[in-house]
Structure 1
């Protein structure tokens, strides 16, 4: 049986005034999605972390009394705050038929030379896991040591002045308390002058 190549289903969010860009890897399979937008698994805490960081409420982006997030509200928020969102993976094969980065075979990565000119004020790229960090480092002309979680390095992509900040994954499979994830994201957004 040949393995199916999947294309990332969601377009990047690239506000032209964005100063930071969040970059993850690949979404879960369709049956695990609660909305047609990035980080669509209701069990993933990404949008709860954002709600807690920016509004003091983990359920801020949740549709009331439903097990789904409000994609339109999230998009509007990202545009208002100047937060770009772009996956590092365009095409991939799921080796284990799940969402785990560990079993994701990357077929095609993001083309930063196409993306970065659309966000000319962006000076921070932040990743939400090891796979995204690894992919971004592979796009550099010279080998660079990856940053530890909750730290950053200069990201010398040709013709752009950027920093690469690595944040903890918001997947519940990542063993870190929700409050500590919130604190980590809050610290980054303060450093990047978003809050």
Structure 2
């Protein structure tokens, strides 16, 4: 029996699936709404995903920030992702937060991603990219693949199609590495998948 405050929380963002997507990047689950700076993936200002993207593609880690530095620019991010063919989603679709924070360690997964519904919508996708340990664990429970080391990839077959599975470092500041170091790992993946 769950405590009264530990209610099931359903994913609010769905999936972002450009028709030309070459890769599908998957996190675990979005933070609580009170931590959002925009209504899109990686909305917490304390998460460095969009700074990593800015650093890699524009040599400017603040490229996707609004001028007030308090919000990310959702429209600029989406336009960029559509141009490059990058899809986004999360591996958990319903969770219970066992602690009042965004920590993956305290997420109990109630519903997982339904790959059979998502992958047919992005037929050009050749790689799934997990952005942290929890996302990797959830995905590995659904596919037959070897867990890659951080920054590396393994391969797996889904419906007779071969995919790469990349394991990226978390963009959360709870994973204490400099943005530049994380960006080098992401840049290698983007080059190998033809995004860069």
The structure 1 residue matched to 2:120, chosen from 94, 117, 127, is 117
CA distance in structure 2 between the aligned counterparts of 1:99 and 1:156, rounded to whole angstroms: 32
Structure 1: gaps of 5 or more residues: none
TM-score w.r.t. the length of structure 2 is 0.95
Cα deviation digits, residues 143-169 of structure 1 (max 9, x gap): x43111001000222333211001100
CA distance in structure 2 between the aligned counterparts of 1:120 and 1:55, rounded to whole angstroms: 28
> What RMSD in Å do the two structures reach over aligned CA positions?
1.1
1:18-57 matches, within 5 Å, as: 18-57=21-60
Q: What is the CA-CA distance between 1:66 and the residue it aligns to?
A: 3.1
Q: What is the CA-CA distance between 1:109 and the residue it aligns to?
A: 0.4
1:130-141 matches, within 5 Å, as: 130-140=133-143
Structure 2: gaps of 5 or more residues: none
The structure 1 residue matched to 2:79, chosen from 76, 79, 94, is 76
CA distance in structure 1 between the aligned counterparts of 2:121 and 2:30, rounded to whole angstroms: 23
Q: What is the CA-CA distance between 1:11 and the residue it aligns to?
A: 2.0
Counterpart of 1:173 in structure 2 is: 174
Cα deviation digits, residues 79-121 of structure 1 (max 9, x gap): 1110011111110000012111110000000100000000001
Q: What is the CA-CA distance between 1:65 and the residue it aligns to?
A: 2.2
